[in-house]
A = this chain, B = another copy of it.
Amino acid sequence: MISTMMDVPLSLNHLLERAGTIFGGNPIVSRLPDKSLRRHSYAQYHRRTRALASALQRLGLRKGERVATLCWNHHAHLEAYFGIPAAGGVMHTLNLRLSPDEIGWIAADAEDRFLIVDDILLPLYRQFAQAHAFERVIVFPFSGAPVPGEFDDYEALLAEADPDGFVYAPHAETDPTSMCYTSGTTGRPKGVVYSHRSTVLHTLVGCLGDIWDLKGSDVLLPVTPMFHANCWGMPYGAVMMGAKIVFPGPHLHPDDLLDLMQLEPPTMSLGVPTIWMGLIQTFEAAQATEPGRWKMPTGMRSLVGGSAVPESLIRAFARHGITLGQGWGMTETSPLATVSYPRAELKDAGEDEAFRRAAMAGSPVPLVDIRIRDDDGHEAPHDGRMPGEVQVRGPFITGSYHQVPVSGDKFTADGWLRTGDVATMDELAYLRITDRTKDLIKSGGEWISSVDLENALMAHPAIAEAAVIAIPDPKWSERPLACIVWKQGQAADAQSLGVHLLQHGFAKWQLPDRFEVIDAIPRTSTGKFWKLKLRERFPS
């Protein structure tokens, strides 16, 4: 017997047409370099995106060819999200926080044919222009200034295009739509290539009530850069549901975000923990000096990810009526793999347990299989105690890297992704990330979790940030060293920090041997603690 269902491929083009047909009146707002707001309707967005696709085809873009973007978060970047695949191309988001050398290397590795670049990022482009020859450089006049004559003008291309006559490039659902490079704290960045299928499935899963809970009535503020794992896939979700989007443009300073929240109060936002730490510190400092300057968007939910979210940060926002939700994932997982959300099983468990759970990575989302493997390759029990490597499998998980041979350190023989993260899983299938494999501290034959120590330290009232690394030790093999950043005007001594950690349930042998006070934790281009730099600074 065979199924009688239609053979209709999953397609981003369906989501775009849907948005234009159903949600034509809903707004998309972008903050420009001069901080003014530009508004488009979804109907205009739909038409401009088809115009972009038509223009790219006229420029000779062929099936599967890469179009890079070097852009902040704004409506034209969203046009690229759908317009490049609509033309049959593959959107490749370049990370503007990388070094110019690295950007150039990545563009060459991806063999990007065209580039769409914000005019205000042309100085950055010129620093890597010699590393890779784009056939066309299309400049988006984000600032409103005239586009220099040697480049293509994005708006002129759209004005000359034929959105009504445009015909979508035919495609199979497994055809590629976009690519991102891993942030690569070790080794060269590697390309992950998403498809219509993986992106639509990821979007459907993400929008579910227990995951992002994204509805057409939401107002989405995406602070996560659109070059960071496709902005965690949220822009695709907003277009599918017809949600209003408020793009912050290049203005990511806490003052700017708080100003924007007054003008366009969001109901949903997303960003890395650093952003939210800065925001709450700025807000609470202003409450003392300038009360009434800002109001928090009470009722807002925010998805926080990219690195572990300390419970203290979740509690701090909860006091302002804002729910921080936590997810775990990576470029390789599209990126959504787990989410922590209020589970029915815990409705009577009390507030402390709720916060404790909220600070965990959460449970696997639909379509994602997760297993925890110990060093011997056995599946760890779901007891919340036995850690192992997190391995992942599913239709929006990468099975290889662009033009890199599949290797055993990245994929298991039975086809699961080896994430390099170490975690426990408990009886409710909550994942708790204890470390990156390479960040675990092995002391006297026992493992110490650097992440647990960091979270406990960041709950101390004097500490703004903390990162823990291993240093070699002749007796114990490795011992923890804690790098501390004080909150402004605050400090504490090592002994009181030790007492604080003991109160948080650590054993005496797990306490850091040393506390080093530093000005700032070095970060990777995507905002994660860059422990490699700390290990270089504190080799012993």
Contacts and interface: CB of A to CB of B under 8 A. Distances in A.
Contacts of A364: 18, 22
A204 B26 CA distance: 24
A507 interface: no
A24 B17 CA distance: 40
Contact of A64 (B1, B343, B345): B1
Contacts of A366: 14-15, 18, 204, 240
Contact of A3 (B8, B24, B193): B193
B174 A5 contact: yes
Interface stretch (A160-168, A391-399, A464-472): A391-399
Nearest to A367: B14
Residue from the set A9, A209, A241, A428 with the largest chain B CB neighbour count within 10 Å: A209
Contacts of A215: 209-210
Main secondary structure of the interface of A (DSSP, over half): loop
Nearest to A207: B208
Interface residues of A, number: 80
B395 A174 contact: no
Contacts of A240: 366
A363 interface: yes
A402 interface: yes
A26 B217 contact: no
22 contacts: A1-B64, A1-B193, A3-B174, A3-B176, A3-B198, A4-B399, A5-B174, A5-B395, A6-B415, A7-B395, A7-B399, A8-B394, A14-B369, A22-B363, A22-B428, A26-B345, A204-B205, A210-B216, A216-B341, A216-B344, A217-B347, A242-B343
Given A6-B415, A22-B363, A216-B344, 9 more contacts: A1-B193, A2-B193, A3-B197, A4-B398, A5-B399, A6-B395, A8-B397, A25-B345, A209-B209
Interface of A: 1-10, 14-15, 17-18, 21-26, 64-66, 90, 174-177, 191-195, 197-198, 200-201, 204-205, 207-210, 213-217, 240-244, 341-345, 347, 363-364, 366-367, 369, 382, 393-402, 415, 417, 427-429
